[in-house]
Amino acid sequence: MSKSPHDIGLEYESVDIETSDGVQINGWYIPCDNSRGTILFCHGNGSNISGRLDTINIFQNLGFTTFLFDYRGYGNSQGKPNEKGTYRDAEAAYDYLIDQKYLNPNHVIIFGRSLGGAVAANLATKRIHQVLILESTFTSIMDIARNIYPIFPVRLINHIRYDTINCVRKLDTPLLLVHSTEDDRIPFSHSEKLFEVADQPKSFLKISGDHNEGFLTSGISYINGLNDFLNKNGY
């Protein structure tokens, strides 16, 4: 049985949104009393939003309202997943916050983890935001494929780009990169490369643990790192 924020004692709104190409996606809006700001969270590939309760709890304890959504084909969202579709899904989620929750675009925190980092970075090139946080993400799908299949002509067999590094090059808003040196899925070097090409202001938070559990394994150092960055940038 899928879980919801009620399972950790939080009230929330289940929201259905129509994307620009007519797909219905589902998200959760989780308000926080005396909220410091709103985080738009783009999750990774491993599961849907029902598997993100630990993340929601961290954001809530830090004092932030959270809006997270499922890409098309995930959870209760309709459609089939594809790269352009995930970008449209994130844009629809952002627009919901601005148009329905009347959030000031200059106060939006865009946050992406793993695959969601690529989605978040793309969104950040298209929508106004205050800060961008990319956690445990990659420079591009092409670079990941080169790591796994170095003897194959990747450009001929891979039609998915998720070109995070090119998006990061275009940005000048405050950026926090978070990555574990022990990440077993996406090498730490990917975030190092993203940091290298990013404009100032930029920060780097090193954590420990594997790809899926690093933010939990790192505990208070992860939480303090997020809090310090957000404090520094007006939250």
Question: How far, CA to CA in Å, does 15 sit from each of 92, 114, 115?
Answer: 12, 24, 22
Asked, for residue 1, whether it belongs to a domain, the answer is: no
Amino acid 46: pLDDT? 81
Parent domain of 81: 14-232
Which of 121, 101, 128, 146 lies closest to 197, judged by CA? Answer: 121
Asked, for residue 4, whether it belongs to a domain, the answer is: no
Q: What CA dihedral angle connects 76, 77, 80 and 84, to 10 degrees?
A: -150
Which of 191, 235, 183 lies closest to 208, judged by CA? Answer: 183
The residue ranges of the chain whose pLDDT is under 50 are none
Please, which residues have CB within 8 angstroms of residue 216's CB and are 6 or more apart in sequence?
54, 209, 222
Amino acid 155: pLDDT? 57
Quote the tokens at residue 189: 């070097």
Asked, for residue 175, whether it belongs to a domain, the answer is: yes
Asked, for residue 6, whether it belongs to a domain, the answer is: no
Asked, for residue 164, whether it belongs to a domain, the answer is: yes
Asked, for residue 7, whether it belongs to a domain, the answer is: no
Asked, for residue 9, whether it belongs to a domain, the answer is: no
Tell me the pTM.
Answer: 0.95
CATH number of the structural domain spanning residue 207? 3.40.50.1820
Amino acid 47: pLDDT? 82
The domain total for the chain is 1
Asked, for residue 2, whether it belongs to a domain, the answer is: no
Amino acid 150: pLDDT? 55
Amino acid 147: pLDDT? 66
